[in-house]
Structure 1
Amino acid sequence: MAALTRQLDLERVEGLNRSVTVFRNTVAEPVHAVVRDRTGSAVPVAVERPAWDRFEVVPPVDGTFRAMVGPSGWWSLEPIEGAGSVEVVEGPFPSARIAAGTRAAIVMDAEVGSRGVRTRQSAIVVVVLLATSWAHVGRGRRRVDA
């Protein structure tokens, strides 16, 4: 059980005088950090999520902002307002040179989250559910007839 909880990034939390065991996910939000230029240390960044396809960040220090959101290529970094500019750096994850106090947004590309893609994914889920249901019904009929 311990190996499974580590694999799924779960943490065991005991409640009600140790009579109930609850598991909570330790990976609630993606990792957002600014890597300082001189020291190379990562400084956490406060994140707001105004929509499911948008994160807004304000880094506390100058450096290279890195957002570990995936899948890679689906997200882009856009400046909103602030003291400095945002210089986008190419890489597998959205990253940019950013000044302290600059407000930036990590936005999902519109083509990836388009209505057609979501409709196609929903149709595939419905087809899989129907196939599973029909397979289950076919198995049940064989048992009754035998």
Structure 2
Amino acid sequence: MLINRLSGAFIVSLGLLLYFIVIPAHTEIVDYGWMRPQSIPNACAILLVFLGIVQTAIPTGATSVGFSEFLRVSMFALVTICALWAMANFGFLAVTPLFVGALMLLVGEQRIGWLLGGVIVLPLAIWLTVVPLLERTLP
């Protein structure tokens, strides 16, 4: 129960950090387009806060974390940090398929259809949504 409450409190803290510090510092203010750049990130941050509060207030089930699970989560975080660095230096479309594929393999996905969808369809759909449709730039 304690791990559930601690993880819920961490998620609340993360959501508040995103909403009040990270999103305002890293979104541009624009007067064009039908959706403001901070709309979706703010909605996600609010959802994180709400769900973190629920997890903290009403923890369910017993939780135990083994070393192998901790190692996989650490690898996932390391790959994600490397992907963010690589996107900033080499661009979204050049980096995203490789790192999405690595993360999917890391979590154990083996079905070729899902792997191809994650590596090809997902980055392309994100790019088509953000760049031409929302008229925003990606790194």
Q: Settle same-fold status: TM greater than 0.5.
A: no
Larger Rg over CA atoms: 1
- 1 or 2, which has the higher helix percentage? 2
User: Which protein, 1 or 2, shows the higher relative CO under an 8 Å CA cutoff with sep ≥ 6?
Assistant: 2
TM-score by length of 1: 0.21
Give the TM-score taking structure 2 as reference length. Answer: 0.22
Determine which structure has the larger strand proportion and give its number: 1
